[in-house]
Amino acid sequence: MEQLKPLSLQHSAYREIKRRIVTAIYRPGEQINTAQICAQLRIGRTPVHLAIHRLETEGLIEILPRRGIVVKPIDRDGMMELIEARYMVEPEVAALAAARATDREFAAMREILDRIPAIAEAGDSEQFMETDLEFHRTMAAAARNHPLTDFLAGMHEHCTRLYFISVSNKQHDQRIIKEHEEIFDALVRRDSEAARAALRKHIESLRSNVRDRV
């Protein structure tokens, strides 16, 4: 068990640093350093160092000469390209999920959606977006296509940064809730075309927010 401990610490450091980046605790363009992170997380330098390099490969951190570690800034053009890629892929995942999901998976999606209104009312933005992602992950898993699921996971994490930086507000949250219900209604009816259309509408809302605010 002792041999697993360093890997466990590395994973904990990776997960917590990533959470702080995605939720904009570490803001885009902010310079951070290993000593600061170690003190905040109470984890040694080696796990933090390894986690930082993993996050660099994921495009969330940059290691720059003479500046050190910098949280990757939001690039508007790059983000629009990412949303475009999601627009092309996720509606097809929804169409597959409508055809392939089990009753148990539909029940899981329903349970997730039932939790969201209270979270929105409480104003817990981090929990709201985690539950939002949980719904999208459950839908993607129901599509029974692992490469597509993995592809979407990375896109979702980058898109989530936008919520905390620019589009988090109660009006936007209510629109997300409504759009999720439209997606679920199409899924549970096993209407692949309607599911595809509902997902396109959902992603188009995100694209409009980014275009207007970032």
Between the alpha carbon of residue 9 and those of residues 22, 26, 63, 84, the distances in Å are: 20, 20, 21, 36
C-alpha–C-alpha distance, residues 96 and 124, integer Å: 31
All structural domains of the chain:
2-71 (1.10.10.10), 76-213 (1.20.120.530)
- 42-46, 126-130, 197-201, 207-211 — which one is most confidently predicted on average? 197-201
List all residues 6 or more positions away from 195 whose beta carbon is below 8 Å from its beta carbon: 91, 94, 95, 97, 98, 183, 186, 187
Q: With a cut of 90, say whether residue 4 has pLDDT above it.
A: no
Q: Whole-model pTM?
A: 0.81
pLDDT tens profile 37-72: 999 999 989 999 999 999 999 888 998 887 789 999
pLDDT tens profile 187-200: 999 999 999 999 99
DSSP run (H or E) holding 196: helix 192-213
pLDDT, the chain, mean: 88
Please, which residues bridge with residue 31 across strands?
A: 70
Model pLDDT, residue 201 = 96
User: Which of 6-20, 71-85, 150-164, 195-209 is predicted with the least confidence, judged by mean pLDDT?
Assistant: 150-164
Model pLDDT, residue 212 = 67
Q: With a cut of 50, say whether residue 103 has pLDDT above it.
A: yes
Between the alpha carbon of residue 201 and those of residues 128, 156, 178, the distances in Å are: 20, 16, 11
List all residues 6 or more positions away from 147 whose beta carbon is below 8 Å from its beta carbon: none
